[in-house]
Each structure stands twice: as structure tokens, then as C-alpha cells.
Structure 1
Amino acid sequence: MSEELVRIDAVSKRFGKNGPIALTRLSASFFGGHVTGLAGPDGAGKTTLLRLIAGLLKADEGALDVCGHDTLRAQGDIKRDVAYMPQRFGLYEDLTVIENLHLYADLRSVTGGARTDTIERLLRFTALEPFTARLAGALSGGMKQKLGLACALIKKPRLLLLDEPSVGVDPISRRELWRMVYELVDQGIGVIWSTAYLDEAERCKTVLLLSEGKLIYQGAPETLTQSVAERTFLVADITGDKRAVLTRALDAPQVLDGVIQGDAVRLVLKEGEKAPNADVLQAGPAANVISTPPRFEDAFMARVGGGAKGASPFAGAPKHGADNDEIVVEADALTKRFGDFTAADRISFAVRRGEIFGLIGPNGAGKSTTFKMLCGLLKPSAGAARVAGLDLAKAPGKARARLGYMAQKFSLYGDLSVRQNLNFFAGVYGLSNAARKGAIARMIETFDLESYLNTNAGSLPLGYKQRLALACAVMHDPDVLFLDEPTSGVDPRTRREFWGHINAMVSRGVTIMVTTHFLDEAEYCDRMALIYRGRAITSGAPDALKRRAASSKNQNPTLEDAFIALVEDFDRKEAA
């Protein structure tokens, strides 16, 4: 039997005398030799629990035993036995890879021959040997996480705590992180992996599911998944608007949750209910509702009560004519060079009105560079970017007035309150007087910001930061909305809220451009382009890309499988 590394008995934690309760009488155990997943919505208490285990916080009630040590009396022993990699790992971006490793070796008192051997081993383990002289700030997202993991492992722990280590990391780098973690598990190290990505929770031996500071499930992920067996369905072969079908399905009383899945709509039913008829959903003459195997995310959504019901405030009459064949965003041989390095190489595609178009690809592939050229934030070295019929090189001001942009990293003013940020961006978009007041009031109501109006944006929980960022991007009712990893690290319930608003905007004729590393989310797109090594190597609808990547070994690939297969196929052809 595996060694019990952590025992938690009725632990509670509140921040401030009258502040929010982060954890309520939580009891759980964590064991060595395998990965335990820690999942739950934003604000569920995941980070608080990890910080308690690491000895960085003190519980208000209850007891924690970590590697045989009481967290209140033996913090030095806990620091020796536990390694903690927080969400925003403290790399020094103006130091090189090797300088960061030496700094953390100093902090953990790893010296002499042991230091040399450990650093060499970690560089091999993370495949960072060729990059020792590169500044940490110049690394891709995946390489930063690998370096963060190496720094956390500078002294071999008994227990490794990882707080959402794969946020902002592409699928290839994510698989590499998992490979490295399983190598550690094979050495007997216990790992607790906090995540908002529920496909990751499925890879864990056990999972703890938290909601509002309470433990609502502990056990094998497959056991929770099977709790919604025979309650998951696909509305397939839809004719017409699949988003309208989703809206009607969510209005059905027997439906608990629903999302777009490629060309289909995925539904989770309430317990004991029958699936709605395709005719009732007005899905078209060829459509049918078929049973499909459950996923862990289906069970998660059922356990937390399902997604939001009701129409988004962004729903309404189309803001433009019915010409959905109009090209609204166009990349014409877009190229961007930084010195001798070509970040984007002759990238071309066209996006129609009322379409969601995704850019996917590994970290550093050129997605964000392409995005910034289309937004007018970067000037192309060659080629042209056109938005709403306007050339960004010739009429940048007019073009930018027609678009909204939500940046990959939180781009609001952290030292300003929520209200001040809303006022500032209303001014940037030229809204004044009654129009400004009306727009701000709508954003406050739509994104439930009332209770945070006087809170500095930098202090908001992640989900509310993302809500505020989206509010500031759409308050002027743009024709085109650019979303650069809009739900990175956000839990499935909040992600559904976001996409409910986005789908409502699309129904009115707004065109959406989105980048994402979370490929379940990429299924929501109508079409996408796979960017790799600065080039658009393939494009098409999500289901078309999956069919393109199918093989005798994997006849029904996921979109993540297709992503990796298409990249590997491109590499083979380039090497031939």
C-alpha cells in the first residue's frame, strides 16, 4: 500500500475576520507513488489547500500532518520534504536558465558535487540543456514551466505540489510535463496536481473535487465519470445553426449542461430524464440524438449543478445584414520578421461574418504574432491585414475602432478599481455621457461585477479578472472580437459562461478570432488554422482536422491527438 504523505483532519481557513471562507472542515488524505488531482471551480480553495500543505498558511481549525510533520510545529522539516511550484512560479526573467538553477540551489543549500550532478540531471530531464544561456523571460510557456519544475526539484522531495502547472502551455508541452511527472512518480514521489483542465484530472489515480471550499468528491476519476453514464448525448448531423440548437437544448428542462463539440452539440441530462427529440430542438431533418460515452467534465458539471441557464444579455437582433458570406477578417501572406528570425511566414486565411475562427499551435509558433498584426498592434514586415474591409496599414485608427481585443495576459490596470477600469476603457472607445453610463451599467450587470466595483483589478480572483477583461473588450459593441487565450486557467463552469456570451454575439453577426491551447475549447470554433514554425500548415473545421489525422492505430482521435499527429506529420515531411 502507498505511504500516506498528507493527512488533513477537519481543516478550515478564512481570510480576515469577516472575509470569505476558503475551506470548510475539509478532511482528506494524499499518498505517495501516484498523482492526485485537485480540481474545482475558480475560488474553490485549491490554491489555499496547497499553501496549507506547504506550510505557507496556517489553518484556523483542524490539523494537517505532512510527511509525518505537524505543519504548525515543524515548518523546517516540511520545507525539506515538500517542493511547491505555485501558479506564478518565481522565475527571475532577467536571469538565464542556468543562473535560475544556481540561485535555487543556493536557496536550498545544494552545494559542491551534489549541485553539479543535480543541475546536469535536471537539464537532461527537462531537455533544457541547449538553452542554459537563454534568459528565462525569453523562454516559451512550456519551457518556463519545465524550468520552474526543475527549480522546484533542485532538492529531491517526498511530495511535489503543482498549482495549475499547464496553464498557457500547448498540448505538446503539456504531454512532456506529464511524462516528466510520471518519471518522478516512478521514483516514489507523491504528486498533487491542481488543475482547471478536467482532461488532466482524468489522468490522475485519484481526484479531489472542491466547490466553495468544500470537498464534494474524493476517489478515482473514472468512478465519478460513470456516475453520469447513460446521461450523455450528442445532437449529430445538425442542419443550420448549431449554436441555436445549443441554446434551445439548454432551455429544455431535462438538460443539465451542454456545449458545442465540433459539428455536434454535447448534452448532459438530469438524472432519470430522457433526451430531447431532434425535432423539438429544431436541429434539421437529418439530425439525431445519440448516446455517447461520458467524460469526466460531464460528471464535474453534473456534480456542481450544471451550467448557466437563460439567454445571454448579448443575444438579440442581428446588428448587420444577413450576408454571412462577407469577409470580415483577412490575412494576406502576413509575414513578420524580428531581425533574422521569421515569426510569421506568409500566413493567409479569410474569416466570414458571424464565424468563430481559431488559431492553434505550439508555444512560440507565431499565433500571437499573427493575432497582433491583425489587431494593428504589430506592423507586418510583408503582406496585408484587413479588418471590416479596412487595411490596418492604411487606416489603423478606423480599423481598431471596429474591433475588441482581450489579451493573453491580463492587460487591465491592476492598480485601478474595477469601476475605474470600466470608465477608462469606455473613454478609450470614445463613449461619453449617456452612452458611457449605459455601457458600463450593462457590463456590470452582465458580468456580475457589482460586488467588486471598488476592488483593484490586480486583486480579483482569476475568473473575475477574465470577466472584467472581456467586459472592457466588448463594451463598445465591436464588429470583430479578438480573444487571445480568453479562458486560460478558468474552470469549466466559468468557461461556459464566457462562451454563452460569445455565442450570443456570433448570433448577432459578430466575428470572433480566438487562440487557445485548450483543445476541448477549440471544438467550439467553426474553423481553425494550425500554426507551426511560423506557418499555417493546415486549416479546417475541428471534425475535419480529426478525420485528417485518423489512422489505423487511432481511428477516432481527439482534437489534441489530431494536433500532435498533424505537427509530427509536418516534421516528417520537412525532414524527408
Structure 2
Amino acid sequence: MSGAHEIILDGVVKSFPGMQRPAVASLSTRIQSGAVMGLVGPDGAGKTTLLRMLAGLLKPTDGSLRVVGLDPVSQDRELHAILGYMPQKFGLYEDLTVMENLTLYADLRGVTGTVRQQTFERLLTFTDLTRFTERLAGKLSGGMKQKLGLACTLVGQPQVLLLDEPGVGVDPISRRELWRMVHELADEGMLILWSTSYLDEAEQCREVLLMNEGELLYSGAPQTLTQHMAGRSVLIRATRGGNRKLLQRAICRPEVSDGVIQGKYLRLILKQDADRHTLLDALEQPGAGFTDAQPRFEDAFIDLLGGGPDHESELAKIMPQVPANPEETVIEARRLTKKFGDFAATDHVDFQVKRGEIFGLLGPNGAGKSTTFKMMCGLLVPSDGNALVLGMDLKTDSGRARQHLGYMAQKFSLYGNLTVLQNLKFFSGVYGLKGQKQRDKIDDMVAAFNFSPILNQAPDALPLGFKQRLALACALMHEPDILFLDEPTSGVDPLTRREFWLHINGMVDKGVTVMVTTHFMDEAEYCDRIGLVYRGKIIAAGSPDSLKQSIASPENPNPTMEQAFIELVQDYDKREEAS
């Protein structure tokens, strides 16, 4: 391996005015080409700041760094000729076609003539976008946009590739394709640094840099860190009270570092030297026992950061109890159809959601789940069929139905130029709260989400995790008994996702019904039932465990949710081709 294909950081520090601690603190490491290097850490870890310094967009406060032997600040022109940088919000022009975007980036890179033609052919084949050259970028699915973004980044045939969370908002099939492409590039000798909040992605890297609050906590192979968790990952199944209640009890125990729901089981990470017998007695589950589970990198990541939430949901405590009737159907789709011209984005979809359930809509990018979801919220009018909430048709009685609904959009939809407090006042007012009742509800939300330190800040200046907390708080101001969550944790780190699901599980225990879309397959495990949407239809439905077992085989007796997702979609394609 050539010594030129490496990144060297020596005591790199980056501080910003007004921040108590550096965004990156005295970072020294060496990154070499030949395989993908993962950059992992929670919100505010310093990942994006580091990538921007490597790209020459930020100047270090102290220390030195070299990218392929070049100083990103003083030798920026030479570096930009050999570097590709794909930020979180990649600069595709949505009103240009796929080919027009590629042409623009070729012009910027000075790629012309025969080389341009050969480059376009290679990249379109590589990303499987050859059939879509005339499609507007804005009309592409999330996964196709990321592949086009990668293609544009690669137009100049860079030696170094910096990718800032390219898998965010991308379904498992598209993420697998992105990884296949990036591994191919790494095998060809390209130096690749991939920032991610998906910890299953980190396991695909040769080595990872794990950062938190600007500090480097670990550098090395992810498998090495995972091995430290041997004997501390266990499964237990609730014998009474259900897994949600068991999870809330378990994470408050001093023996437990972390806990998540995994289908019919609860997955717990035990602290060092935890007494299993004491814990089992405290959980009060007659006949239950612990089964050892294979450790995951996510277990090690959460444990290294000090563990997950260790308390009950403060949000659930302030939500009123909804009268429980588990047989009541509160959300229903009847032959729900939405056409755009001749194209059926949703095609005769049927499902029911009972009171107090979590129902998940899963599907690849462009499969029709967002269209279905928006019709169920009353944001889109069906072309045919019915979307019902509490028996009220959203087409004819949306005003009354919306009084029961809370909605959190996929993209941050609050007012970025208002402060956190002003957003809380505005949305509580929209929902009809005024006077003392409004002030009390705002105080409750500020306490539940710990907004006090940021009340006078604008959301645009906040990390994504705080933006999502604020969006959830605004959606709950009127105490809805039905909650629609459209990819609520897309792009946030695993610790923040655990906090969100702590709140969601707590609200469901209060009788709130939740309908959610997600690309995180571990989040799908929290759902009572799942509808897998593909080509506008629900191609599979059932509990997470039933979907996993539907693809189980002697070679793979315990498939993951991601494997089930991918195989069910691929099997549907095979059946359609054969028919």
C-alpha cells in the first residue's frame, strides 16, 4: 500500500466561539486506504466537524492534518482535485435530471470529451441508474438520490472519499447496494472514510474511530470491541405484564447497562459482574430465565458511552391515560388507493390498527409507504378507498378526526427562525390551548425533554436529536390518543433513538396508538405488527417474529429483521417475474 494514500492527524483541535468544550479535542490517528474506515459516534461527537476539516472547509484551531500528504487549508486546490466529499445534505439539483446533474459535476471537475463519456457510462452502470438518466433528481427515491450523489462525487475519480452519513433515510436494500459499491472502490485502493449512526454499518468496516464529545474513545476493529461484551448480552421473555413494562423495569435496575425489545424477547446488556439471580428475582417474571445472546457492536458502543436510559419516561408520566379497549379499531385502511396519473403509488391497501398497538409500515424507498402514511394522517386525499380514524373518514370528516391525531413529519417541519419556546407556544396555540392550560403544558414539555438550556435558541442551530425532541413535543401538545410518526429517528444516534422509544413505549402503556414508518430494522422489533409495503401493496403483514420466521431455513434458523425485509421483497419480485 502506498504511504501517500493515508490521512494523518496529529493533535487536531477544533473549537468554536461560545462552546464550553472543543468540537474535536486533540485527535491523533492515522487512516489508510484499502478498506472502509468507519467514523462512529452520537450527535455532537465531532464527526461532521472532522470531515469538514479534512475537506478543507474548516481550519483546525490547533494541531496538523495531512490528506494524501496535502494540507487541506494551504493546499486546498491540489486536494480538491483528488478528493470527493459527500455531505449529509448533498447538493443535488432536484430540478435537473440525473444526466444533467452528472454533466454539471463533470463541468465543475473539468472532465470532458471521451473521458467524460466513459466516466458517465461506468458510473451509471456502477449505480444502476442507466434507466433513469432523464428522470428529475427530485423524483428519485431516497436510495436513488444517494446513489446519484455518490456518482456525482466520483466524477473526478478521487483518491479520497469522505462520506457523511450516506445511509440516512435509505432502506436496507439500498444501503446494501451503497455498501457493495463502496467496498468495490476501497478494494481498488481508494481511501474511504464513512461516517454513520447505523451501527450495523460500522460492523462492515475494517476499523472504526469511535468519538464522543470530540474525544476519540476507541480506534480499531469493531469485532475487537464487541468481544469485550462476551457473556453480558442476554435475552429474556416476559411471562407477565408484557415486554414494554418489563423493559421499563429492567433499565432502572443497577445490574443493567442497556435494554431493547427484540421481537418477543427483551435484549439486555448486563454490567460487569452483574448478579443474574438478583436481577431475575427483581424482575418478577415467574418461570422466565436468561438466554445468552451473541454480542453486537451496538452493545459495545452503548456500553462504552455509559449505557442507555436508566429511568422511566418523563413524557409518559404527563400524558393522560386513554380508556383501554384492545378490541377497538382506531386506524383502518379499506382498499386505499392513490394514483398520480396512471401510476398507483398505493394500490388497494387494507389494514387495521387496534387501540394501544404500535403498527409499523416498512418498505424500500419509493415503495409507497409514505403515500399510504400521509393518506392515513389526512395529508393526502385518496383516489379511491377509505382512510378511517376512530371510524371517521378523513376524506369527509378530517377536522374532527385530527383533534385525536398527533403527527411528526419525516423532515423537520417546525419554524427554524422561531426559538424553541416560541415554537412550543405557537403549536400549543394552533391546537387550541390558551391561558394557564397552555403555560402548564409548555412547562410540562420543557421538563420532560429538558429544554430549559435551549429555550431561547432557534431550532436551526440545534443538533438533530434536539430538533426531533422538539418536533415530538409539538406533536403532543393537545394530548392526542393516536400518534403518527414518519421516520421519527432518521439520522439520530442510537442513544437518542433509545430515548425516543422509551417515550413511545411509555405512551403506548397509557393507551396511545402509534403508527410509525422506519428504516431502522431494530426499531421494527418494537412494533406489535408490521405491514411491509412494496410496489404500492402490502406484500407481508404480521408480528416481527412471524415475518422473520416466514423466511427461516435450516441454514438460517434465526434470521434478522433486515434479512426478512430483504428476502420478502426479493421473493415478491421473483413471483412477479414468474407470473
> What is the match of residue 415 of structure 2?
413
Distance 1:539 1:90 in 2: 37
| 1:131-530 equivalent positions in 2, closer than 5 A | 131-236=132-237, 238-275=239-276, 277-283=279-285, 285-316=286-317, 319-530=321-532
Displacement of 1:260 after TM fit? Answer: 0.7
Does the aligned pair in 1 maintain the 2:83–2:160 contact within 8 Å? Answer: yes
Ranges in structure 2 where 5+ consecutive residues have no aligned partner: none
Distance 2:130 2:322 in 1: 54
Displacement of 1:76 after TM fit? Answer: 1.2
Distance 1:230 1:140 in 2: 42
Distance 2:399 2:7 in 1: 57
Deviation track 1:48-93 (CA, whole Å, cap 9, x = no partner) reads 0111111111000000011011223211121122110000000011
Tell me which moved more, 423-432 or 200-209.
423-432
Displacement of 1:32 after TM fit? Answer: 0.5
Distance 1:287 1:79 in 2: 59
SS at match of 1:363: coil
Output the amino acid matched with 1:93.
Answer: E
> What is the match of residue 58 of structure 2?
57
Output the amino acid matched with 1:510.
Answer: V
Distance 2:18 2:253 in 1: 43
Output the amino acid matched with 1:193.
Answer: W
Distance 1:373 1:466 in 2: 22
Q: 2:543 aligns with which of 541, 545, 548?
A: 541
Does the aligned pair in 1 maintain the 2:253–2:279 contact within 8 Å? Answer: no
Aligned length: 575
Displacement of 1:277 after TM fit? Answer: 4.6
Displacement of 1:19 after TM fit? Answer: 6.0
Deviation track 1:302-361 (CA, whole Å, cap 9, x = no partner) reads 000011222212334862333222111111111111111101111111111111110000
Tell me which moved more, 259-268 or 286-295.
286-295
Does the aligned pair in 2 maintain the 1:318–1:507 contact within 8 Å? Answer: no
SS at match of 1:176: helix
Does the aligned pair in 2 maintain the 1:202–1:296 contact within 8 Å? Answer: yes
Does the aligned pair in 2 maintain the 1:32–1:191 contact within 8 Å? Answer: yes
Output the amino acid matched with 2:117.
Answer: T
Distance 1:42 1:140 in 2: 26
SS at match of 1:409: coil
SS at match of 2:316: coil
Distance 1:278 1:369, change over 3 A: same
Distance 1:35 1:100 in 2: 26
Displacement of 1:156 after TM fit? Answer: 1.0
TM-score by length of 2: 0.97
Does the aligned pair in 1 maintain the 2:253–2:310 contact within 8 Å? Answer: no
Displacement of 1:130 after TM fit? Answer: 0.7
Distance 2:407 2:316 in 1: 20
Distance 2:405 2:92 in 1: 35
> What is the match of residue 43 of structure 1?
44
TM-score by length of 1: 0.97
Distance 1:14 1:112, change over 3 A: same
Output the amino acid matched with 1:530.
Answer: L
Distance 1:473 1:353, change over 3 A: same
Displacement of 1:522 after TM fit? Answer: 0.9
Q: 1:568 aligns with which of 567, 570, 579?
A: 570
Distance 1:274 1:28 in 2: 38
Distance 1:531 1:286 in 2: 38
Distance 1:137 1:419 in 2: 33
Does the aligned pair in 2 maintain the 1:356–1:527 contact within 8 Å? Answer: yes
Displacement of 1:134 after TM fit? Answer: 0.7
SS at match of 1:199: helix
Distance 2:493 2:446 in 1: 21
Displacement of 1:138 after TM fit? Answer: 0.6
Distance 1:336 1:17, change over 3 A: closer
> What is the match of residue 90 of structure 1?
91
Deviation track 1:542-576 (CA, whole Å, cap 9, x = no partner) reads 11110001123322211000001111111111222
Output the amino acid matched with 1:186.
Answer: D
Deviation track 1:110-164 (CA, whole Å, cap 9, x = no partner) reads 1111111111111111111111111111100000000000000001111110000
RMSD: 1.4
Distance 2:476 2:193 in 1: 38
Ranges in structure 1 where 5+ consecutive residues have no aligned partner: none
Distance 1:65 1:402, change over 3 A: same
Does the aligned pair in 2 maintain the 1:301–1:307 contact within 8 Å? Answer: yes
SS at match of 2:344: strand
